[in-house]
A and B are shown apart, each in its own frame.
Chain A
Amino acid sequence: MQEIIQYLFSGITTGSIYAVIAVGLSMLYSSTELINFSHGEFVMLGAMGILTLWVNAALPLPLAFLLTVVAVSCVGMIFERLAIKTVKKPQPITLVIITVGASIFLRGVAMIIWGKDPFSVPSFSSYESIEIAGAALVPQSLFIVFAAFILAGAIHLFFKQTLTGKAMVACAVNKKAAWLSGIPSESMGVLAFIISTGTGAAAGIFIAPITMGSYDMGTMLGLKGFCAAMIGGLGSLWGAFAGGILLGVLESLGAGLISSGLKDAIAFILLLLILYICPGGLFSAKVAKRF
């Protein structure tokens, strides 16, 4: 029994990492209908940014956090302006390939700047783990769950309560109609990129103490985050959140109860099963039909 609780806690730790990444991916999808495969690289930039500003330059944590998020959002904006906006015929497949290219590019640049070795980032709070019913929980994973929750909540409110947020959704539903009704669809696209990459950077900052920072950490995290968003239903923020936690718990239970060698296989088979039974994901919006 004690072991099961430990597996659940481990699952929540990894799951919260996937969740916080999936939220940013999902947000961009629901406002631009674009899947950004370089999202993991923006997460990596967040982790490396906090390493440079907080650990190496010894700035206070809140300031380093803010600077990192702003800097990475700027990179996201430049990426949108230079690579996404300039595409003549924005077919979905073209844009997806561009994001894949961007991820390779960002990884290469990061390798030149920070080198090939991984770096460790200290935990935000004291190191001791919390013990509940004989199972240990790392405090940092509580921070991550909390961050994912806040991010998802804030973006949810932004979409539902503010005019800008609603305008952004309108652009995703029908760009031309939104433009005709006076919404500056182009600046909405940039804004969506800025917010999404900013959340990616925030995710990277929160997970860095657990994952450690290295130039090639983004790829796997981006893929797992994408899976989590798929499980939850692309475009649904709470779905992405729940999907991340679910994927983490499944992996951990698979490793603990069946075999650690099959850990990823178990998680991915379940992903396929879920998508087979409900193709839109577990929490997809019921009005999936867009015209």
Chain B
Amino acid sequence: MRQSKIRSTLVVAVCVMLMIAPIIGASSAMAASIYKIGGVFDSTGPASFLGDPEQKTMQMMVEQINATGGIDGNMLEAVIYDSEGDPAKAVSAVNKLLHKDNVIAIIGPSTTPTTLAIVNFVEKAQVPLISCAAGVEITSPIKPWVFKTAQSDLLAVAAIYKTMQSKNIKKIAILTVSNAFGESGKKQLVGQSKEFGIEVIMQESFGPNDTDMTAQLTKIKSASPDAIVCWGTNPGPAVVAKNVKQLKIEIPLYQSHGVASPKFIELAGDAAEGIILPTGKILVTKLLSDDDPQKKILAKYEADYKAKFNTNVSGFGGYSYDAMVMLANAIKGSGGDKNKIRDALESTQKYIGVSGEFNFSATDHNGLSPDAFVMVEIKDGTWKLLDK
């Protein structure tokens, strides 16, 4: 009887030891001058067009930094998990990073829903997070430990409306995809319309996998707006572009930055002609004037990425590029202290990155202004800069 009691106590003790052992192992590894940085990206699944280039860029940046001797002589180690576009998977990945891998900062996730699912966990654990998602809700209201590098929808809508003002467009119809990206775009399109003197006369939506939008467009055509704004990510907007041509609708079509990639022109073909959209500058690096401060950094990123992965660069990878550079700058001299890293991030000023010029402050954790976007028109199967 007594013996069995001792035995069970022993079993418990061994179990506890086994549980503690990896934690000790991890913290002793920390001391051996390695900075662990976590990454959570939607590398597969519906948002893989965002997550895949972001993950590749992060790996590339870590290798580059280590090749030049690391930060203050400490090597970086990237621990990257795939959240597959699923908020639940993002949460478990972040918990692994926080409690098992003991990272000093996290980059990602790629989408607004996955980011919003994890912000409470990083806030509680007090680990700096730099998200690569576009949603305004991520940094407004301000959360002390959460930053983001992607241009907000807010700025994209402002850029579109500015162009519309100059073209004297007053009434618009919007056609948005029925997911988080489209909903957020719709909110901004409707919310900012008054400010620019534009009236949204019709709001329609389409499913992410729909194959035909002629019903919605027929309805819009009968309301005869001055312009149509479509908000979505491939392939839906390409179908919209094709349907507009099929129905012989002559109303100008605007698209969001969600389709700002050569893939859209490939998918929509001739139907892409004349479409106007906002985009980060990376898409049009060659067209920028030489005195543009971003031109040099864009060209370098483009060349590095192409040399390493042998595919064309996408603007989305730039979000993790900027996150890595600013994080590396913030880690410098911090000795791996998370509080110091956070404070250094918040005081980042005039960092010229892929997505624009960042000026973080205690009241702005995105740090970009509307000129992070340029407006382009698709002409002869390629991009053409619109005058401001």
Instruction: Write the residues of chain A forming the contact surface with B, with a CB cutoff of 8 angstroms.
Output: 3, 6-7, 9-11, 13-14, 17, 111, 116-120, 122, 127, 129, 131, 136, 138, 207, 210-212, 214, 216-217, 220, 251-253, 255-256, 260-261, 263-264
Contacts and interface: CB of A to CB of B under 8 A. Distances in A.
Contacts of A117: 49, 234, 263
Contacts of A211: 211
A-B pairs, top 6 by smallest CB distance, nearest first, are A10-B214, A255-B215, A220-B209, A211-B211, A256-B215, A129-B246
Contacts of B219: 3, 255-256, 260
Contact of B218 (A116, A210, A256, A264): A256
Contacts of B267: 118-120, 212
Contacts of B216: 255-256, 260
Nearest to B43: A116
Given A6-B214, A10-B218, A212-B235, A116 B44 contact: yes
A11 B206 CA distance: 14
Contact of A264 (B207, B211, B235, B239): B207
Contact of B46 (A138, A216, A264): A216
B235 A214 contact: yes
Contacts of B248: 129, 131, 136
Dominant secondary structure at the A interface: helix
A217 B209 CA distance: 7
Contacts of B49: 116-117
Dominant secondary structure at the B interface: helix
Nearest to A116: B48
B380 interface: no
Contacts of A255: 204, 215-216, 219
Contacts of B52: 116
A220 B246 CA distance: 24
Contacts of A217: 209
Contacts of B234: 117-118
A123 to B, nearest CB: 10
B385 to A, nearest CB: 25
A3 B222 contact: yes
Contacts of B222: 3
11 contacts: A3-B219, A6-B218, A17-B211, A118-B235, A120-B268, A127-B270, A210-B211, A210-B212, A255-B219, A256-B218, A256-B219
B269 A260 contact: no
B225 to A, nearest CB: 15
A205 B358 CA distance: 48
B247 interface: yes
B212 A136 contact: no
Contacts of B218: 3, 6-7, 10, 256
B86 to A, nearest CB: 14
B214 A9 contact: yes
Contacts of B207: 263-264
Contacts of B206: 260
With most chain A CB atoms within 10 A of its CB, the pick from B49, B178, B247 is B247
A129 B178 CA distance: 27
A14 B212 contact: yes
Given A212-B238, A256-B215, 8 more contacts: A17-B211, A120-B238, A136-B214, A251-B215, A252-B215, A255-B215, A255-B216, A260-B215
B266 interface: yes
A198 B269 CA distance: 30
A13 B235 contact: no
A260 B243 CA distance: 16
A17 B211 CA distance: 9
B329 interface: no
A263 B205 CA distance: 9
Interface in B195-231: 204-207, 209, 211-212, 214-216, 218-219, 222
A268 to B, nearest CB: 12
Interface in B32-87: 44, 46, 48-49, 52
A101 to B, nearest CB: 18
B185 to A, nearest CB: 14
A119 B238 CA distance: 11
With most chain B CB atoms within 10 A of its CB, the pick from A138, A216, A255, A264 is A255
B65 to A, nearest CB: 28
A210 B269 CA distance: 13
With most chain A CB atoms within 10 A of its CB, the pick from B206, B235, B267, B268 is B235
Nearest to B206: A260
